Structure 1
């Protein structure tokens, strides 16, 4: 049973696809060369999976966090200009532009970490973020290539 979240299943598809491709192109169905072909597939698939995971789990959420915070600032400033803004329920409205700016940034800062944490690492495979699945495939590919080269030498 494969457990994934978000686009985590793409990790399996990418890695298995590259391994199959390299096995078809380089494998000769005998020992060391198959290890090298499979290892090269794991290396390439792992790199692609890691890059996709890095973009999905780290880069894209950061951009979405900034978009969300910008929208939140705009909404809070609308409330300030309408005279309905309060930094917390029951608190007095800001009396100056400087005080309003400070309070708006305080509200945004208090929300920032939660938004960022909610958006990051939403794409995983077996509860492992996709970028780390790619790294594990790269490590496995390295071992397989080294094992195949040692087999060819001996």
Structure 2
């Protein structure tokens, strides 16, 4: 997400710079138009693309077997290579109140980990029409990742 946003910021900067140069060369520099262009560019960059949380929410919802109503949330897990952190089992138990507040107090009162993932932050920015290349990568740990206290899974799929 961050690489994608940085890429868009660069293109936005270039676009705004070129727009200023064109207006200066034509001596019709309109501050209102320039302000609208900058506002649109910032709005475009900040609203384009999915966040890591949204990507993992979709992945978590997809891996849960459908057995009636199931309340699922992707919950961030801290990642440390030097010290143990809470497992996804513990994180899901602790996150159940915040999950239920989203769902209107529906679902179980006990949080359960159903899967764990590592979403890699490095992204490849693909050009329009560019096929056959990966842009985002994840590692699925499944249920066994729910008990991992180390850096590995950085998202827990929690069921309420």
Q: Same fold (TM over 0.5)?
A: no
State the TM bucket, normalised to the shorter chain: 0.3 to 0.5
| Structure with a larger share of its residues in helix | 1
Normalised to the residue count of structure 1, the TM-score between the two structures is: 0.33
| Structure with a larger share of its residues in strand | 2
The one of the two structures with greater contact order (alpha-carbon pairs below 8 A, sep at least 6) is: 1
